[in-house]
A and B are shown apart, each in its own frame.
Chain A
Amino acid sequence: MGRVALRGLLAVAVITLCLFVFGPLLWLASQAFATSWTYPNLLPDGLTTRWWKVVLDDPALGAAVQNSLTFAPLTVLISALVCLPAAYAFARREFPGRRAMLIGLFATNAFPKMGLFATMASLFYALNLMQTVLGILIVHVIGTVVFMTWIPAAAFASVPRSLEEAARDAGAKPLRVFFTVTLPLALPGIAVAAIMSFLASFDEAQGTYLVGAPDYMTMPTQMYSLILNYPPQVAAVFSIMLSVPSVLLLLLVRKHVMGGHLAEGFQIR
């Protein structure tokens, strides 16, 4: 009896969770094909692909897609160049202020983004970074520093030193040891960091709007105005388009993200 009750409880919990996570997304996606929807009908009044045409014909939305798909990879690349050497240093070297720096990175995460952007504006005006690609990239990269430093640092730290020593004993130079032993073993962790950074950049809206609008609109910044100014079906179409790159990433990297690299990275050692 107890077992049956437990099974029933479990089934209810699983169904509720599915509905909670997927319900809103499916409901939103179905709007993209509806002519209109009258409450309380379970089905839309009719089906159409007209909203897709509206979105695809709007040059501003096309530009936003292009901007997003340019800024996100650039952000990941810059962030990797800036942060990966630091991640290696945090993992392998003991230096004064090491722990203070790791906590400092964490602290920047605790300051509300909105408040930061409000004050960053004056600095950006002073440095002439407003309405520039560089300014937008700086905003995006800042949002990725924690991921790009912490997760790869944990990945580098988990490469056994004995393997590196063995390679060195066999006569390999330090650089060669790094590129043939350390880096390949740390690569899955770095990949997770890159994906988290890509998503962070792809998702960034407030800072991009403040620095880039109206010259440089990205998909999330366009999404804000779409939701406020267009019929819901148009925003639904755009939502599906905006989710495609992220969902593809999810399918590609599910195993790595689930494999604990992310969790490892968030423990300061």
Chain B
Amino acid sequence: MALPPIVLILVFVGLPIVTALLYSLGHTGGLNSVTATIAQHQHVATSWWGTLDAYREVLTNARLQRDLALTVTVTVVSTVAVMLVAFGIALYQRLSDSRLAKALAVLAIVPMFIPVVIGSWAILLFYSGTGFVRTALAQIGVEGPVWAYTQTAIIIGSVWTSLPFAVLMISSGVQAVPDAVIEASRDAGASLARTVWSVILPMATVPVIIAATFTAIGVLGSFTVPYFTGPNAPTMLGVDINNYFSSFNQPQQSVVMAFVVFALASVIGAAYVWANFRTAAKAVR
């Protein structure tokens, strides 16, 4: 019964990834022959296992090094920001029963239901030279910043699109902390900050880690947000993968970059798997 989705994934995701790996190592036969015949600047395998020349080219390219640095920076900053905001909303919702708290949690979910293309473009216009932020500040005589087409806009867009999932995950974790535990901590004389730090946060660790890993992996490989809101150069690797594939006609380099992103994502993914197995080991099935 479990087989159909696994087979589907193996054929249409697993197989392409394996052929891509072979292609990135310089094997141009088989399924790769169509792509390889029209590709430019290709590194062809020189030994039985292939060659690392394509990886060497990509990783030593000064422009791509800058893009890699930007990708990592945006991912780290966005993930930290998303976690802080989401935890704040979750906490507020847990500690206050007010309608405002509930409304806030619903509000934070809205971006999930707006297509990313629209979200990115809306953010671009909002923070552009003639956008709302500058218009509003101009009313009081202040020259506002232009964030459109900058790294800041990519971070704003990434936070905007990632917030809903993180809020849902973390809220559900924080809601699960029993009232009795929080009250006991307060009765024992712990301050609110202390209760949050040493009672609520430890009990919600797993959902927080899951939210953080999914946010980071999502931002790391993102295309739409940096494509619309970010500068032409430096840009994020997701945009480079697209440019090298469709504009520069260098699919091998594009595939190599995909593996670089995948390697980074795997490191983050390990944290997710670890967090899950830690709870699975404790849980009684």
Residues of A within 8 A of B (CB): 10, 13-14, 17-18, 20-25, 27-28, 31, 37, 39-42, 82-83, 85-86, 88-90, 93, 95, 98, 101, 103-116, 118-123, 125-126, 138, 141-142, 145, 148-149, 199, 202-203, 205-206, 219-220, 223-224, 227, 232, 235, 239, 242-243, 246-247, 249-250, 254, 257-258, 260, 262-264, 266-269
15 residue pairs from A and B, CB less than 8 Å apart = A25-B119, A27-B126, A37-B130, A39-B134, A82-B5, A105-B5, A114-B245, A118-B242, A118-B245, A122-B19, A122-B31, A142-B8, A149-B5, A203-B117, A258-B105
Q: Are B106 and A254 in contact (CB under 8 A)?
A: yes
Contact A262 B13 (CB under 8 A): no
A28: which of B89, B121, B262 is its contact (CB, 8 Å)? B121
Is B108 positioned at the interface, with any CB of A under 8 Å from its CB? yes
**Given known contacts A27-B122, A239-B121, what 10 new A-B pairs fall within 8 Å (CB)?**
A20-B160, A21-B163, A22-B110, A39-B135, A111-B17, A112-B221, A113-B221, A223-B115, A246-B115, A267-B206
Q: Is there contact, CB below 8 Å, between B168 and A263?
A: yes
Assess A267 versus B276: contact at CB under 8 Å? Given A22-B110, A25-B114, A138-B12: yes
Interchain CB contact under 8 A, A85 and B4: yes
A27 near B269 with CB under 8 A, answer no
Bound-state CA distance A205–B238 (Å) is: 14
Q: Give chain B's interface residues, CB within 8 Å of chain A.
A: 1-6, 8-9, 12-17, 19-20, 23, 31-35, 85, 88-89, 92, 100, 104-119, 121-123, 125-127, 129-132, 134-136, 138-139, 156, 160, 163, 165, 168-169, 171-173, 175, 206-207, 210, 214, 217, 220-221, 223-224, 228, 237-238, 241-242, 245, 251, 254-255, 257-259, 261-262, 265-266, 268-269, 272-273, 276-277, 279-280, 283, 285
Question: Contact between B207 and A40 (Cβ–Cβ < 8 Å)?
Answer: no
Q: Is the CB of B255 within 8 A of A118?
A: yes
Total contacts A to B, CB within 8 angstroms?
274
Of A21, A89, A203, A254, the contact of B2 (CB 8 Å cutoff): A89
Choose from B9, B105, B125, B210 the contact partner of A108 (Cβ within 8 Å).
B9
Q: How far is the CA of A89 from the CA of B242 in the complex (A)?
A: 37
Report chain A residues within 8 Å CB of B241. 112, 114-115, 118
Contact yes or no, A95 B2, CB < 8 A: yes
Contact call B8/A145, Cβ cutoff below 8 A: yes
Docked-complex contact A199 and B4, CB < 8 angstroms: no
Interchain nearest-CB distance for B107 vs A (Å): 6
Q: How far is the CA of A234 from the CA of B34 in the complex (A)?
A: 39
